[in-house]
Structure 1
Amino acid sequence: MTLRTSLKMIKLSAVVFASVGIVFASKYYQGKSQNKKLQQEIQLEKITHSNELTEILSRYDATLNENKELLRQQNAPQQTVPANIKPVATVVAPTPKTQEIRQEIHPNAKKIDSLKNQLKEQSDQNKSLATELGELSSKYRELKKRNDSNESALALSKNLTAINVYANGIKIVSNNIIETKRFSAIEQIKVCFTLLENKAAIKGNKDIYIQIVNPDNKVVSKNGDFVEEDSRLLSYSAKTNIYYDNEELDVCVFVDPNKNDIQKGDYEINIFSGINLIGSTVFSLK
């Protein structure tokens, strides 16, 4: 499996996980909304039940007082009872009104218990959805991290690579090009390198920038040239444009330096494709 195919599969997985996550999030917040609505219903039922219960208890107390009065009247002595005969307690059966009050209390209490059970089930379901949503979010973050990493690797694989970077001073004598290490005799600096074969790179014209840094850490440049890309600035000494067709390619560039930038010491040579560093070397002048 190629890096590109792997990247596509990871992107597809990330999209799938994101979609599933959205569905779970929707269910979770829908359940949360239903839970809130259910709590409001229970609170309203409690208030209603409390009012009804107060009214019922008031009626119940009134009925109970009536029963007590009836009981007192029935137990009142109508005639003298011999001392050897014990009075028989009279049990008053609940009146229809009392039974009616008890029947009214029972359904309301049962309805509140039912709503409490529904609320508990909804709460358990919301907790389960929240757990699943957290797991999906974690998987999505991991996939995104791997996707970003693979994209970086893919972008890096498309970059050019310069090897065998070589530099030296040049002086011209009678139309002959002579390499020299003496800084006082230098007229140009010759920089050569090889671009490696890269089938992943995009074919076409490429801007290659040569940066020469002198011992004082100053970029050797006759005109102070620089290029800006992605809000980054690159100072360079020379620029060349080549056509790259994914095959190995040898390149040489002659740099006209500012004489004031040339001195004895070590020079750093950097090769850039765009603003991406693709190769470097060090050479010395004496």
Structure 2
Amino acid sequence: MKKHYKNGWIKALFAVLFVFGLGATFYIFSNESNPDSSLIINKEKQDIGKFSEQELAQKDILDSLNILKLAYDVAILEKTALSQQLELERKNIENLTEIIKASKNPSTDQIILYRKQFSDLRQSLNTSVLEVKKLKSQNKNLLSEIEDQNVVMYQQKAENDTLISKQKKLESTLKDASKLAMNNFKVVALREKKSGLELETDKAKNAQKLKVSFTINGNSIAKTGKRIFYIQVLDQRNKVLGEDKLIEFGNDKALVYSFIVAVDFQGKPVNVYGILNSDDGHFPKGTYFINFFDKQEIFGSTSITLE
């Protein structure tokens, strides 16, 4: 606001001084075009002993230069690409002003030269003012285009963000939907007869095997092919029975398992089972806990107690 107020005040002052300068300039050139009138006026001034003809012309040119310098000040305040050029021209005005001030009793030829230089500077300003208006108009249009582009870019970014968000949700949905669902987690103890027939038992002294099983539900969008699952059997002392092997998954996670089971999954429901044999011919009394893993993720558990 202060800058606009200052610019407005300077422009108003420039308008008043410019009108005055036009009058002064008109007066200067009218004197030159009408020598008789100039002689009469100068004669009157000589009569009162104040200024010579050259001194009066010198003073008028200095006044016009001061007004012209103020006009350059106003143009420079617009801060366009021409500001540097305008500052150089204003410096030329200051230099010409100093030269004229230093000139004592300038000759008629000098006055004519000063007027010519003043006229050139004024014409240069007129040209520059038109160019400044053109640049301001171009800048205004450019700013308008930039604002329009910013609006379009903002809208496009919002649309992209929405699409990315929807894509992430879809990917998450597909990922969740493609996961296998398991149920019917079971474990039974078996004893084997001489004939090879296997019978279920809940007696520890007869339990030679632990048979674990579960069902994979059908899933048409899940990855098909060979799938491996890890079975972990813990006794009452929390010891891992069976192979007792460690596997690392490369993401700072690892698992100690008892044995693995594999299945060829083709999108349809399938029953999976595995056998853990006793090392001593039977399992000691107690409760056994069985955990089912798909890599490092546990997806089910069950237990059995042998008497």
Asked whether the two chains share a fold, i.e. TM above 0.5, the reply is yes
What is the CA-CA distance between 1:163 and the residue it aligns to?
1.9
What is the CA-CA distance between 1:50 and the residue it aligns to?
0.8
What is the CA-CA distance between 1:156 and the residue it aligns to?
3.2
Is this contact kept in 2: 1:214–1:268, CA < 8 A?
no
Deviations 1:246-267 (A, max 9, x none): 22222221123677x9763462
Deviations 1:103-128 (A, max 9, x none): 22222233234324433433443344
Equivalent in 269, 286, 290 of residue 264 of structure 1? 286
Question: Percent same amino acid at aligned positions?
Answer: 16
Structure 2 residue identity aligned to 1:241: A
| Residue 247 (structure 1) aligns with | 268
Equivalent in 86, 93, 96 of residue 59 of structure 1? 96
What is the CA-CA distance between 1:236 and the residue it aligns to?
2.1
Q: Secondary structure at the match of 1:193?
A: strand
How do residues 32-111 of structure 1 correspond to structure 2 at under 5 angstroms? Answer: 45-59=82-96, 98-111=118-131
How do residues 4-23 of structure 1 correspond to structure 2 at under 5 angstroms? Answer: none
Distance 2:130 2:205 in 1: 105
Deviations 1:140-191 (A, max 9, x none): 2332232233223323333332221111233335444333345565432111
1:200 aligns with 2:237: no
Q: How many residues align?
A: 220
Structure 1 residue identity aligned to 2:228: D
Structure 1 spans left out of the alignment, 5+ residues? 1-41, 71-93
Structure 2 residue identity aligned to 1:195: I
Q: Whose relative contact order is higher, 1 or 2, with alpha carbons under 8 Å and at least 6 apart? A: 1
Is this contact kept in 2: 1:225–1:236, CA < 8 A?
yes
Distance 2:205 2:143 in 1: 85
**Bigger radius of gyration:** 2
How do residues 156-235 of structure 1 correspond to structure 2 at under 5 angstroms? Answer: 156-174=176-194, 175-183=196-204, 186-214=207-235, 218=239, 220-229=240-249, 231=251, 232-235=253-256
Deviations 1:36-89 (A, max 9, x none): xxxxxx6662122111122135436767999x989xxxxxxxxxxxxxxxxxxx
Q: Using a 3 Å threshold, how does the CA distance of structure 1 residues 122 and 230 change in structure 2: closer, same or farther? A: farther
Is this contact kept in 2: 1:213–1:268, CA < 8 A?
yes
| Residue 166 (structure 2) aligns with | 146
Distance 1:130 1:217 in 2: 64
Distance 1:47 1:164 in 2: 86
Q: Secondary structure at the match of 2:219?
A: coil
Structure 1 residue identity aligned to 2:300: S
Is this contact kept in 1: 2:211–2:273, CA < 8 A?
yes
Q: Using a 3 Å threshold, how does the CA distance of structure 1 residues 51 and 98 change in structure 2: closer, same or farther? A: closer
| Residue 88 (structure 1) aligns with | none
